[in-house]
Amino acid sequence: MIVKHLSNLIGTIDDVDTETWNSRRLLLGKDKMGFSLNDTLIKEGTETLIWYKNHVEAVYCIEGVGEIEVIGGETYPITPGMMYALNGHEKHYLRARSQMRMICVFNPPLTGREVHDEEGTYPLL
Ligand code: 9YT
């Protein structure tokens, strides 16, 4: 059994901070669960281009408000309780009107300190 607490991750190698988001990585590939689990803060007023070509991701908002715009598709408001699952590798913009706290699950699991490249993609490591 694996037991972790967010407070013990802050400031460690599993706490990945970028200009637009801060991903606290609770489960990674090394944990051998078949998925990864992040508690991620999306910074207020930011827009991030994201395109997970190599992963599927489910995102569950527990705090804050914003929106997701699927490029070439619809725009959906994000509020606490809203979940979206990128089961079609949708390229999108994620915008945070206030700081949003999101629980993010990836398959295949993230392996470590992935950050988006210029296309918004995470490499398959
Ligand atoms: C919701 C989303 O994809 N945010 C970008 C960060 C990513 N989820 C992560 O690595 O935690």
Closest ligand 1 atom, residue 18 Cα: 6
Distance from C-alpha of 91 to C-alpha of 74, rounded to nearest angstrom? 11
Nearest C-alpha to atom 9 of ligand 1 is from which residue? Answer: 23
pLDDT of residue 25: 96
Closest ligand 1 atom, residue 102 Cα: 1
Question: Which of 9, 16, 38, when mutated, tests ligand 1's pocket best, judged by the most ligand atoms within 8 Å of its CB?
Answer: 38
Q: How would you write the pLDDT of the chain (125 residues) with one tens digit per residue?
A: 999 999 999 999 999 999 999 999 999 999 999 999 999 999 999 999 999 999 999 999 999 999 999 999 999 999 999 999 999 999 999 999 999 999 999 999 998 877 778 777 887 76
**What pTM does this model have?**
0.93
pLDDT of residue 108: 94
pLDDT of residue 125: 67
**104: Cβ below 6 Å to ligand 1?**
yes
CB environment 86-120: b (16+ within 10 A), e (fewer): beeebbbebbbbebbbbebbbeebbbeebebeeeb
pLDDT of residue 119: 77
Distance from C-alpha of 112 to C-alpha of 74, rounded to nearest angstrom? 31
CATH of domain 6-107: 2.60.120.10
5: which 2 tokens? 């607490």
**105: Cβ below 6 Å to ligand 1?**
no
pLDDT of residue 117: 80
Strands in 47-50's sheet, in edge-to-edge order, are: 47-50, 92-96, 66-70, 75-78
